[in-house]
Structure 1
Amino acid sequence: MKKCWCIVWLGMSLSSQAQTFKEGKLWLNEDGSNYFKVTLNAQIWLRNTELNPGSTVNGFAQTNVTDIGIRRARLQAFGQIADRVFIYTQIGMNNFNALSDRKAGFFIHDINGDYEVVRKKLFVGGGLTAWNGLSRFSAPAVGSILGIDAPLFEQNTNDVTDQFLRKLSLYAKGKWGKLDYRLVMSNPMSITKAAGYTPGVSGNSSFSPRPTRMQWHGYVQWQFLDPESNVTGYNAGTYLGSKRVLNVGAGFQYQPAAQWHLVGTDTVSTAMRNFAVDLFYDVPLNSAKGTALSAYAVYMHTDYGPGYLRNQATMNPASGTTRTDIVNGSGNGYPSFGTGHLLYGQVGYKCRENLLGKTTLMPYASLQYARYERLNAAVLFWDAGVNWLLKGQTSKLTLAYQNRPVFQNIPGTNTADRIGTKGAVLLQYQVFWN
């Protein structure tokens, strides 16, 4: 692999005398308007997790686990390779820990290209891509996440009918003055290939294995202050005070007959209908000192059909459970997705430059609040920590604590009560060559 990359790089470098390497890009023409760029990102986790009741590791009961894992490893290669022509590729892996299959290797996250039909106003493209609708962090730029992780519930079909949020899509995107937009048509992937898929239909809605119809989704935002780049589909988590950004956005996601459930003995299909509005504010406070504020809030109305509920268990440190009455499942899972309403907010404050030698700190906090049909109490998931910015986002250490709710099914009903909470302490080191 290393030799292949060297040969490709050497061939590109020698193919034209006009090519030079500047500003982290391989310039393909004299003014740099045509270029090619490669980036690398790694996020390494050390954590201690209180496990959900009944959790097991390789069949052995466990209540607490300390583990090391690779949360993300990514290689991006992209560029404006000709006038009006852009290509983007990304390969990598997610969630590699001691329980993962070995030698899994990198897989394709993205491969897409687009063509500029009307200068700045209309680009059309397609491929396996993160050009998603619904909300800002339905496609987060992981190298600039504010906290320990992105709000994953905004990637609402993540690895269910897509590939870690990427979809087989055709898209249109562009800017009209301060309006930034994207409109996408996606071909959902088969639910039968999703991890943990079990055939069958019940009284609670689930994704249907029937042949899928196209999914339509989009997102628009009004950019009041500095414009943000829309070269790729990914949205920045924080600019650390390098831009003045105030955006109000709204998005939707619709797929006919995406879900099914039983009514008596009849199987009923329903559409997936999701809607979101959000606000992003990221500005310098004192340019001389280097202080900055980052804040984000979103409201989501999600409709996956009656009784739909799905857990999120990031890089799960457990492999099984003996407690089928626990809604959360094993390990660090909790019901993050469901039919109902959700509010989320995050805020961070960047301290002055050179606070600790040549480094500084950025504490943050976030809260997910959701009311889902089958749960008798709100889902409250909170996360707080501090980023130690050793060299901006290039070298960053993040210490965080997360607290999640635990729900138990009530016998003879289709509802569940909250019976307590569990926590986790996480330490992440990010190195990002951009």
Structure 2
Amino acid sequence: MKKVLSVILFSSSMAIAQVKPSDDNTKSDIRYNLNESGSHYVKVTFTNQAWFRFNDNNPGTTVLSDPKSSTFDIGLRRTRIQLFGQITDRIFFYTQYGMNNFNKTSAFPSYNTTGTPSQRKVAAFFHDAVGEYEVQRKGTNFIRFGGGLTIVNGLSRFSQPSIGTIMTMDVPVFAQATVDQTDQFSRKLSVYSRGQIGKFNYRVGLADPFPIETNGATPPTLNQNSVFSQRKNHKQFEALFIYNIFDTEDNTTPGYMTGTYLGKRKVLNIEAGIISQKNATWRKEAVDTLYGNMTLWSVAAYMDMPVNKVKGTAVSAYLGYFDTNYGKGYLRYNGIMNPATGTSQPIAGVSRTQGNAYPMFGTGSVVYAQAGYKLKDGLLGSQGTLMPYASLQHADYERLRDGMNVFNLGVNWLIKGNNGKMTLNYENRPVYRNSTVANELDKYARRGSWTLQYQISI
């Protein structure tokens, strides 16, 4: 009888907690309060992003050795569970478990085309496991110190995005500069401090990057172009500084900066960030091995605010400049949840150019912009409203003879804010080939892809 009563009381407390709305995302919290006021609690969230995509593949693309000029694939872009909470007034913990980029070919990467056995059941892993201690708080001001496996870093807000609140269908992945090279899906083992002092928000940290040899792929061969080094590894310094002109942002979890507040806050920020690491890359020049320092920095402005509070209309926009110095000649192709496994038309000096890949990362500079407009609440009656958007990534990388432009156009169907939404997105990207100039690439065509995403977030 006592066990039954305990279950009833626990279920009742959970049900009461669930109707408490979140400040930013119109969510109902799944939480268990540890004290009467609810200031101490444990909370659970879940997010799943399913993709249904048609892609015009890059020339020469093969899927499991079969030539494919186009593909239709179904996949899970992200599936995540978060468990976090405020244990005492000063102690906070955060964990996240899940998987990314899970489709038919995800367990059969491009370097495994010989029939070697693969395992599709090993995709999920801990993304974050971090503890924080708050040394000071006064009103909305606070100073915290933390450590563990975390996405807290410098460079930009999109280097540590809240994936459940993305305005565009996906984040600008180039801003997650070392993703799955010397980090674990953008997370690193780090110690850091973050805080809010008046209108000023900061985060500074020291990370211990993972060896490139442990990322699950064969390390790039040492050649004339910079690649991440396998020797003389150093710690990584990072910092991000933000000035909040109007409202301050949600600072509950470490990292994870909101994509759009859907008009719930009036936010206008100016930011500057940096990531720096000594001897991060190496290259070969004649018989000498030369090491290069990685220095990445950015400046940006972010706006997200209501236009008409009565109607519920809102605008969101971002404009940023990124200086990306990985070392001489660094260039890396990447295709998000790539539907292909190989190519019959390889490009000298780069790898994995099949499917939907393009030169996403490189030494040079990037300008990134995005803008969206949330239409009035109830536009579709009880089925929510719409939020169209557009984005542009313009990159000038050393080894590209022509500037690279990647366009995205899309619309969000906000059925229940960010808790339940569908996104239809069209992406248009450039295709490159070897240039007549040694070690450079020429742009000669473009390809596109259509993706429908269905997001559930609790």
Instruction: Classify the TM-score, shorter chain.
Output: over 0.9
Quick one: which of 54, 58, 78 aligns to 2:64?
58
In the alignment, what sits opposite 1:185? 206
Is 1:49 matched with 2:73?
Answer: no
In the alignment, what sits opposite 1:279? 301
Is 1:169 matched with 2:165?
Answer: no
In the alignment, what sits opposite 1:76? 82
Does the CA contact (< 8 Å) of 2:102 and 2:123 recur in 1? Answer: no
In terms of mean alpha carbon deviation, does 88-97 or 187-196 score higher? 187-196
Label 1:115 to 1:19 Cα distance change in 2 as closer, same or farther (>3 A). farther
CA distance in 2, matches of 1:340, 1:151: 16
SS in structure 2 opposite 1:192? helix
Does the CA contact (< 8 Å) of 1:407 and 1:420 recur in 2? Answer: yes
CA distance in 2, matches of 1:59, 1:106: 27
Quick one: which of 337, 341, 356 aligns to 2:365?
341
Does the CA contact (< 8 Å) of 1:18 and 1:28 recur in 2? Answer: no
Kindly state the Cα deviation for residue 86 of structure 1 after the two structures are TM-superposed.
Answer: 0.2
CA distance in 1, matches of 2:371, 2:221: 42
SS in structure 2 opposite 1:82? coil
Superposed counterparts of 1:231-310, under 5 Å:
231-232=252-253, 233-310=255-332
1:117-146, Cα deviation, whole Å (9 max, x unpaired) = 122432111000011111111000000000
Quick one: which of 116, 125, 134 aligns to 1:107?
125
- The amino acid across from 1:370 in the alignment is A
In the alignment, what sits opposite 1:421? 446
CA distance in 1, matches of 2:198, 2:445: 49
Is 1:354 matched with 2:350?
Answer: no
Does the CA contact (< 8 Å) of 2:212 and 2:219 recur in 1? Answer: no
In the alignment, what sits opposite 1:215? 236
In terms of mean alpha carbon deviation, does 276-285 or 207-216 score higher? 207-216
In the alignment, what sits opposite 1:34? 40
Does the CA contact (< 8 Å) of 1:20 and 1:27 recur in 2? Answer: no
Kindly state the Cα deviation for residue 211 of structure 1 after the two structures are TM-superposed.
Answer: 4.3
1:95-123, Cα deviation, whole Å (9 max, x unpaired) = 11011332225210100000001224321
TM-score, normalising length: structure 1: 0.94
1:12-48, Cα deviation, whole Å (9 max, x unpaired) = x76xx99973522211111111111000000000010
Q: Which runs of 5+ in 2 are unaligned?
A: 21-28, 108-119
In the alignment, what sits opposite 2:111? none
Label 1:412 to 1:418 Cα distance change in 2 as closer, same or farther (>3 A). closer
CA distance in 1, matches of 2:161, 2:395: 21
In terms of mean alpha carbon deviation, does 98-107 or 199-208 score higher? 98-107
In the alignment, what sits opposite 1:155? 176
SS in structure 2 opposite 1:21? helix
SS in structure 2 opposite 1:29? coil
CA distance in 1, matches of 2:358, 2:216: 17
In the alignment, what sits opposite 2:356? 332
CA distance in 2, matches of 1:54, 1:198: 23
CA distance in 1, matches of 2:282, 2:206: 21
SS in structure 2 opposite 1:302? strand
1:320-364, Cα deviation, whole Å (9 max, x unpaired) = 011113757111100011000100000000001111122110000
Superposed counterparts of 1:92-131, under 5 Å:
92-101=98-107, 102-119=120-137, 120-131=141-152
Is 1:132 matched with 2:153?
Answer: yes
Q: Which runs of 5+ in 1 are unaligned?
A: 1-6
1:58-90, Cα deviation, whole Å (9 max, x unpaired) = 111110000100110000010111110000000
CA distance in 2, matches of 1:309, 1:272: 13
CA RMSD of aligned residues (A): 2.0
1:292-327, Cα deviation, whole Å (9 max, x unpaired) = 000011100010111100112100000001111375
SS in structure 2 opposite 1:98? coil
Kindly state the Cα deviation for residue 200 of structure 1 after the two structures are TM-superposed.
Answer: 3.0
Where has structure 1 moved over 6 Å in runs of 4 or more?
17-20
In the alignment, what sits opposite 1:21? 17
- The amino acid across from 2:56 in the alignment is E
SS in structure 2 opposite 1:165? coil
Does the CA contact (< 8 Å) of 2:232 and 2:279 recur in 1? Answer: no
Quick one: which of 338, 344, 354 aligns to 1:316?
338
- The amino acid across from 1:135 in the alignment is S
Does the CA contact (< 8 Å) of 1:19 and 1:29 recur in 2? Answer: no
In terms of mean alpha carbon deviation, does 317-326 or 64-73 score higher? 317-326
CA distance in 2, matches of 1:104, 1:97: 13
CA distance in 1, matches of 2:412, 2:395: 26
Kindly state the Cα deviation for residue 266 of structure 1 after the two structures are TM-superposed.
Answer: 0.6
In the alignment, what sits opposite 2:117? none
Does the CA contact (< 8 Å) of 2:302 and 2:318 recur in 1? Answer: yes
CA distance in 2, matches of 1:41, 1:274: 30
Kindly state the Cα deviation for residue 411 of structure 1 after the two structures are TM-superposed.
Answer: 4.8
CA distance in 2, matches of 1:19, 1:43: 26
SS in structure 2 opposite 1:147? coil
Kindly state the Cα deviation for residue 199 of structure 1 after the two structures are TM-superposed.
Answer: 5.0
Q: Percent identity?
A: 46
In the alignment, what sits opposite 2:112? none
TM-score, normalising length: structure 2: 0.89
SS in structure 2 opposite 1:426? strand
SS in structure 2 opposite 1:239? coil
CA distance in 1, matches of 2:153, 2:372: 25
Label 1:175 to 1:411 Cα distance change in 2 as closer, same or farther (>3 A). same
Kindly state the Cα deviation for residue 239 of structure 1 after the two structures are TM-superposed.
Answer: 0.5
